[in-house]
Amino acid sequence: MKKGVKYVVRKKGMFWPSQEMKKIANITDSKIYEKAAKNPIKFWENLAREGITWEKEWDKAYVEKLPYFQWFRNGKLNFSVNCLDRHLDHGSRVAMIWVPEPVSEKPVKWTYRELYDKVCRFANVLKSNGIRKGDVVSIYLPMIPEALVAMLACTRIGAIHSVVFSAFSTDALRARIEDGNAKIIITSDGYFRRGKPEFLLKKAVKAAKNTTVEKIIVVDRLGKRVRGKKFLDFYTEVELADSYCEPEIVNSQDTMFILYTSGTTGKPKGIVHDTGGYAVQAYWTSKWNFNLNPGDLMWCTADVGWITGHTYAFYGPLLTGATTLIYEGSPDYPDPGRWWEIIEEHKVNVFYTAPTAIRMFMRVNENWIKKHDLSSIRILGTVGEPIDEESWMWYFEKIGGGRCPIIDTWWQTETGGTLINVLPGIGPFVPTVSGKSFPGVTHRIVDDNGKPVKKGKEGFLVQKSPFAPGMLHGVFNNHKKYVDTYWKKFRKYYDTSDGAFIYKGLIRITGRTDDVMKVAGHRLATAELENAIHSHKKVAECAVVPMPDEIRGQVPVAFVVLKRGGGSERLERKIKKFVDQKIGPTARPHKIYFVGDLPKTRSGKIMRRILKALLVNEEPKGLMTLVNPESVEEIRKTISKYGSKK
């Protein structure tokens, strides 16, 4: 491995930015935190002016009437103008590099001008198919460049995009189409995954049946031409369309996109993000966390079906005029050297991934990494779940060559952009610790009553007013859910549903405090999975709990009571397949235990806590409250018979 520039130094057992990092960092003065805290609204106003191109300035920077608040009220802008038009003076710069999975296919590079041209044309396609400002467009696409075109085209005309993760099932897609009343779906015939074609179109067609969808626009990725009145071929339409599309100027507070995420109930919620506030936060977090400037190359490995893909694989790099790299395929296909080869070939400067991927690579032969020159990397990022010290150190040494800061970014679908992390030009970089609230944002760690906990004690992580500009602006068509989920418990604080404590003056996240699991960084509600399993005709009752997993962080395990008869391996396989159909393979239970009864309280509440303890071989507490304590022994036996891991 080549040495490369050293961006960190070790001081007092901690890592700090080196002089080289200080020289290149977009922000190095730690006073920024105090300055911002003095008047956060003014601070964000200044950032909004400096970072974003507005058609007209806002009449009021921040309006709050909890549980709702608005940033840059009546400020006028167009999001795609900020990602594209304003970079056209340097239109020959590369905006995007796409690496297809098959090694035989060449990477595709689009300049800002080329991307602009495609976005304008496709925006005209949407318009000519009746899409107007405020309409919802469903996007069911894998990691191909057309996803970027489709999303930006929506923002060009003020339409609301609703991206659905391509590995989600027909049922999951249908639920999201129905909730948003989408008139159009943009999908592809499929994509490549682990060397094989994955077909998407059939799923999309099935999902669209008997819904509001009038047209399906299909990207030809696998060479399958579609025919029929309902279908439009993406490129045929793009070529026919006009190459200029006047940007629709929207209000800052107008909805830009919806993204569904799991809550604690069975139905996913449509998280609503506005335009101006989101743009400001996406821009400045990219600028300060990842130090992005024109000419820099960022690779965020997240899929566009998740918020990380939206903000840092697509929008953040483009807002800052940098270049984004997106990759279609599996991290270890055709071999575990693939990611590192991509970094070497394209000279990636900022690499952003999840602890799950890091833990997976820790288990492969080091030579797959060692043989590649990773000296182009300046900053490493991690997101999605807490990272343990061993994985942090491995990432730091093996990928960063001991040279690069690790920016452990805590945030959520709801927050739109990162909120808690250390800034690369300021430091310190401490394993397992996310860091400080982004300048201009305040978090507190509180007890059940909303009172601050004692220093160093664990509590609930909440955010305080004024709330960050990128924050959600509601749950789509569901005011009650918005209030119940985020504002009921602490009222004046936004409830993150995460636990945290202060360590060395910085925030360390301990994980979810509700019934939400993080499986390989993906968010999954136990209730959603229970609903899916419960709808299987043979299932009488079920409970899903997370089990610790060395690579994926957590995996779901299901305990199932059948209506009749005993379970079998065949039925276990069938139920797993059933979950694939209902939600998608990311939700597939790792193991299903068939049991006679589930531990319940007198009021009928299933004690998941007991199941969790049994899974990790701990003695469960509080058995006295159960109506059926004998169920515990039976479950213990079942677990030991089949083993807690498969």
Cβ distance to ligand PRX smaller for residue 72 or 410: 410
Cβ distance to ligand PRX smaller for residue 126 or 509: 509
Q: Mark the segment that binds ligand PRX (CB under 6 A) among 95-103, 110-118, 200-208, 506-514.
A: 506-514
Task: Tell me the C-alpha distance between 84 and 93, whole Å.
Answer: 11
Cβ distance to ligand PRX smaller for residue 250 or 507: 507
Q: Which parts of 489-584 fold into alpha helices (H)?
A: 526-534, 569-582
Closest CA to 268 of 520, 555, 478, 66: 478
Q: Which residues, 6 or more positions from 635, have their beta carbon under 8 angstroms from its beta carbon?
A: 559, 593, 595, 599, 611, 614
588 touching ligand PRX, by CB under 6 A: no
Exactly one of 512, 552, 576, 582 binds ligand PRX (CB under 6 A); which one?
Answer: 512
CB of 375 to ligand PRX, least distance (A): 26
Q: Which of residues 11-30 bind ligand PRX (CB under 6 A)?
A: none
C-alpha gyration radius of the chain: 24
Give the number of other CB atoms < 10 A from CB of residue 133.
12
Q: Sort 116 into a burial class: Cβ within 10 Å, 0-12 / 13-18 / 19+.
A: buried
CB of 552 to ligand PRX, least distance (A): 14
Give the number of other CB atoms < 10 A from CB of residue 414.
25
Residues in the interface with ligand PRX (CB under 6 A) total 22
Cβ distance to ligand PRX smaller for residue 71 or 392: 392
Using DSSP, state whether 538 is helix, strand or coil. coil
CB of 486 to ligand PRX, least distance (A): 12
By the 8 A CB rule, do 162 and 131 touch? no
Chain mean position to CA 554: 17
| Backbone φ/ψ region at 274: left (φ over 0), alpha (ψ -120 to 50), beta | beta
Exactly one of 331, 511, 562, 567 binds ligand PRX (CB under 6 A); which one?
Answer: 511
CB of 411 to ligand PRX, least distance (A): 4
Cβ distance to ligand PRX smaller for residue 283 or 460: 460
Q: Mark the segment that binds ligand PRX (CB under 6 A) among 87-95, 317-325, 343-351, 507-515.
A: 507-515
- Determine the angle formed by the axes of helices 170-180 and 569-582, rounding to 10 degrees: 30
261 touching ligand PRX, by CB under 6 A: yes
Pair of tokens at residue 237: 């339409």
Q: Which of residues 449-478 bind ligand PRX (CB under 6 A)?
A: none
By the 8 A CB rule, do 413 and 428 touch? no
Exactly one of 201, 307, 422, 610 binds ligand PRX (CB under 6 A); which one?
Answer: 307
CB of 356 to ligand PRX, least distance (A): 12
CB of 384 to ligand PRX, least distance (A): 5
CB of 358 to ligand PRX, least distance (A): 12
Using DSSP, state whether 523 is helix, strand or coil. strand
Q: Which of residues 359-418 bind ligand PRX (CB under 6 A)?
A: 383-386, 408-413
498 touching ligand PRX, by CB under 6 A: yes
Q: Sort 193 into a burial class: Cβ within 10 Å, 0-12 / 13-18 / 19+.
A: middle
Task: Tell me the C-alpha distance between 367 and 249, whole Å.
Answer: 52
Q: Which of residues 100-119 bind ligand PRX (CB under 6 A)?
A: none
Tell me which residue has its CB nearest to ligand PRX. 413
Q: Mark the segment that binds ligand PRX (CB under 6 A) among 10-18, 85-93, 477-485, 510-518.
A: 510-518
What amino acid occupies position 446?
V
What amino acid occupies position 184?
I
Task: Tell me the C-alpha distance between 470 and 493, whole Å.
Answer: 16
287 touching ligand PRX, by CB under 6 A: no
495 touching ligand PRX, by CB under 6 A: no
Cβ distance to ligand PRX smaller for residue 403 or 518: 518
Omega before 67 cis (within 30°)? yes
Exactly one of 80, 281, 286, 308 binds ligand PRX (CB under 6 A); which one?
Answer: 308
Task: Tell me the C-alpha distance between 135 and 180, whole Å.
Answer: 9
Closest CA to 338 of 378, 368, 377: 368
Cβ distance to ligand PRX smaller for residue 219 or 441: 441
CB of 518 to ligand PRX, least distance (A): 6
| Interaction site with ligand PRX (CB under 6 A) | 261, 307-308, 383-386, 408-413, 434, 496-498, 509, 511-512, 518, 523
